[in-house]
Amino acid sequence: MVLAQLGGSITRALQQMSNATVIDEKVLNDCLNEINRALLQSDVQFELVRDMRTNIKKIVNLQDLAAGHNKRKIIQQAVFNELCKMLDPGKSSFVPKKGKTSVVMFVGLQGSGKTTTCTKYAHYYQKKGWKPALVCADTFRAGAFDQLKQNATKAKTPFYGSYMESDPVKIAVEGVERFKEENRDLIIVDTSGRHKQEAALFEEMRQVSEATNPDLVIFVMDSSIGQAAFDQAQAFKQSVAVGAVIITKMDGHAKGGGSLSAVAATKSPVIFIGTGEHMDEFEVFEVKPFVSRLLGMGDLSGFVDKIHDIVPMDKQPELLQKLSEGFTLRIMYEQFQNMLSMGPMSQVLSMLPGFSSELMPKGQEKESQAKVKRYMTIMDSMTNEELDSSNPKLINESRMMRIARGSGRLVREVLDMMEEYKRLAKLWSKMKGLKIPKKGDMSAL
Ligand code: GDP
């Protein structure tokens, strides 16, 4: 995700500050300047960035801090809190209840990813046991019904629409009625978009909304518009009761931070983000875990959610057992194999900073794959004792030279790989002893 660049820049700024021997006004200013630059590059509104800086300086107030205070920690915490504040709309959204019929209407401009997102949303809830259904009330765009039909079929979700009927209100009402009779508990209505915000679009939205009386209206927008998201979200909010926002294409645009903060400023909760064209490239958006991940602090709730989602029940104890073991080079080897085949474990680990997200950043898959394969070739020249040890000191200089010779790689590359191993071992140790709580129960974390 491009946001990884933003997270990387902020983390680097904090790291540089941490490396300084003494944290004085200059070191703090340099750090804040870097963070500001990264946020502005992500198209976060200037005023928000300026306020964040002022607030951090107020909280940190170096002169007032007694000598014993850990300035680094206070600054890092202040940055974390301010980023959370920037992304927090201060409001939550309606959440559909399983077994009780909810109607959710999707609105947005044409091309924002509305139809794709309707299916992702249906698929997300279907996996969790809901019985969703899709209604195509987009009669404006030729081919909209075909697209929805195709997506719905792929997701094995019932759908309703018409090639002949041109009245979106009629289709929406018929579709909702039909699925209510069929006891579907999540009825999703896809509406028309236009290229621009215009009266006809808003009028149609109002009519469909009046006729179907949705429990939730979700506004879908493309992240590439950055801070212009503020005006767009406001305009939609003023025309129909938008209860939540989904921001799409977070995988491809450098302005993701801008759109997220701009939407929060309209006091609309962002509930999901789209991170690719594929049905599963869809993530729940929650401010704190998101900022944790952005700053490389890990996201244990996301991690646990992913485990529930993609690791089969009978495999979960095996995974826990693995996590409780010391991190050996052999485990790293197996994880690399998983990553190359995009197995479920790699999807789980991608929730933790430093695993696949850093090893295989999007857009650099080829280079990353080459690197992972290189590391695997190096490990192929190791003995069982070396692979099964969790003590990196075992691989001393002479062993390194032997491994390099055996694998036809440079000693420097073996060293690189060992550095990677140590980094991953550190992450692994964080997960040791992690209990996987029941779904929705995060108290054990
Ligand atoms: P609509 O006109 O708003 O219904 O938009 P569509 O659902 O047809 O999507 C427009 C284009 O955006 C399609 O090519 C989708 O595959 C693509 N798209 C939608 N969401 C995402 C996303 O999160 N990431 C990426 N990369 N593409 C997306």
Which atom in ligand 1 lies closest to the alpha carbon of residue 108?
3
CA of 204 to the centre of ligand 1 (A): 22
Q: What is the pLDDT of residues 216-264, one digit of tens each?
A: 999 999 999 999 999 999 999 999 999 999 999 988 777 888 899 999 8
pLDDT of residue 440: 39
Select the more confidently predicted residue: 381 or 193: 381
**pLDDT for residue 445 is more than 50:** no
Separation of CA 357 and ligand 1 centre (Å): 23
Residue 339 lies in a domain: yes
User: 270-274 and 282-284 as β-strands: parallel, antiparallel, unpaired?
Assistant: antiparallel
Residue 439: is its pLDDT beyond 50? no
Residue 442 lies in a domain: no
* Contact status, residue 256 vs residue 44, Cβ threshold 8 Å: no
Does residue 92 sit within a domain? no
Q: State the pLDDT confidence band at 358, using cuts at 50, 70 and 90.
A: low
Compute the mean pLDDT over every residue in the chain, rounded to the nearest whole number. 83
DSSP bridge partners of 190: 106, 136
Find tokens 């946001």 and name the residue.
3
Confidence of residue 30 (pLDDT cuts 50, 70, 90): very high
For residue 50, the Cα-to-chain-centroid distance in whole angstroms is 26
Q: How far is the CA of 366 from the centre of ligand 1 (A)?
A: 24
In a domain, 63, yes or no: yes
The pLDDT > 70 percentage for the chain reads 81
Which tops the pLDDT comparison, 208 or 437? 208
Same domain for 272 and 364, yes or no, is no
Q: Determine which of 114-128, 145-159, 255-269, 281-295 has the lowest per-residue pLDDT on average.
A: 281-295
Q: Is the CB of 276 under 6 A from ligand 1?
A: yes
pLDDT value of residue 371? 85
- What is the position in ligand 1's atom list of the atom closest to the CA of 141? 2
Residue 233 forms part of a structural domain: yes
**Cβ(116) to ligand 1 under 6 A?**
yes
pLDDT at 442: 34
Q: Does 18 map to a domain?
A: yes
- Asked if residue 52 lies in contact with residue 86, where contact means CB atoms within 8 angstroms, the answer is yes
On whether both 18 and 50 belong to a single domain, the answer is yes
User: Which protein residue's CA is at the shortest distance from atom 6 of ligand 1?
Assistant: 113
* DSSP structural state of residue 227: G
Last residue of a domain, one of 87, 114, 135: 87
Last residue of a domain, one of 239, 268, 290: 290
Whether residues 250 and 322 share a domain: the answer is no
CATH code of the domain containing 80: 1.20.120.140
Beta bridge partners of 106: 190, 218
In Å, what is the CA distance from 47 to each residue of 179, 225, 229, 262?
A: 46, 18, 15, 11
Q: Is 256 in the pocket of ligand 1 (CB under 6 A)?
A: no
Q: How far is the CA of 233 from the centre of ligand 1 (A)?
A: 18
Going by pLDDT thresholds of 50, 70 and 90, the confidence category of residue 141 is: confident
Q: 180 with 60: CB under 8 angstroms?
A: no
Ligand 1: atom nearest CA of 147 is 8
Q: 103 forms bridges with which residues in the sheet?
A: 187
Residue 354 confidence (pLDDT): 54
What pLDDT band is residue 372 in, cutting at 50, 70 and 90?
confident
Is residue 119 predicted with pLDDT exceeding 70? yes
Report d(CA 416, CA 398) in Å as an integer.
16
Residue with more model confidence, 251 or 312 = 251
Tell whether ipTM is more than 0.90: yes
Q: Over range 364-386, report the average pLDDT.
A: 86
Q: Is residue 367 part of a domain?
A: yes
Q: State whether 227 and 372 are in the same domain.
A: no
The per-residue pLDDT for 347 is 58
Look at residue 304 in the predicted model and tell me its pLDDT. Answer: 57
pLDDT at 312 over 70: no
Distance from the alpha carbon of residue 310 to the mean position of ligand 1, in angstroms: 24
Opening angle at CA 109, ends 108 and 114, nearest 5 = 55
Q: At 178, list the tokens.
A: 């039909």
Helix %, strand %, coil % of the chain (to 5):
60, 10, 30
Domain, as residue range, for 320: 303-431
The number of domains in the chain is 3
**In this predicted structure, what is the pLDDT of residue 320?**
64
- Residue 343 pLDDT grade (very low, low, confident, very high; cuts 50, 70, 90): low
Domain boundary among 87, 111, 140: 87
**pLDDT greater than 80 at residue 338:** no
Residues 410 and 387 in one domain: yes
> What band does 441 get if pLDDT is binned at 50, 70 and 90?
very low
Residue 295 lies in a domain: no
Using CA positions, which residue lies closest to atom 27 of ligand 1?
277
Q: Is 193 in the pocket of ligand 1 (CB under 6 A)?
A: yes
Rounded Cα gap, residues 270 and 89, in angstroms: 8
Give the pLDDT confidence score for residue 319 in this predicted structure: 66
Cα 353-224-92 angle, rounded to 5 deg: 65
- What number does the ligand 1 atom closest to the CA of 190 have? 4
Mean pLDDT of 163-167: 88
Do 145 and 243 reside in the same domain of the chain?
yes
Contact 178, 171 (CB under 8 A): no
CATH number where 373 lies? 1.10.260.30
Residues 147 and 202 in one domain: yes
Residue 196 shares a structural domain with residue 268: yes
For the cut 70, the answer to whether the pLDDT of residue 365 exceeds it is no
Residues contacting 431, CB < 8 A, separation 6+: 303, 323, 352
Q: What is the mean pLDDT of residues 329-343?
A: 75
Query: What pLDDT is attached to residue 294?
Result: 77
pLDDT at residue 437, rounded to an integer: 47
251 and 183 in a single domain? The answer is yes
275 shares its domain with 409: no
| Alpha carbon of 222 to ligand 1 centroid (Å) | 8
User: How many angstroms separate the alpha carbon of residue 234 from the centre of ligand 1?
Assistant: 22
State if residue 251 touches ligand 1 by the CB under 6 angstroms criterion. Answer: yes
Instruction: Specify the pLDDT at position 78.
Output: 87
- φ and ψ at 80, to 5 degrees? -60, -50
**Ligand 1 pocket mutation pick from 196, 277, 281, 282 by most atoms within 8 angstroms of CB:** 277
* 345 and 407 inside one domain: yes
**Pocket-testing residue among 2, 112, 116, ligand 1, by greatest number of atoms within 8 A of Cβ:** 116
- Percentage of the chain lying above the pLDDT 90 cut: 45
Same domain for 48 and 152 = no
363: Cβ below 6 Å to ligand 1?
no
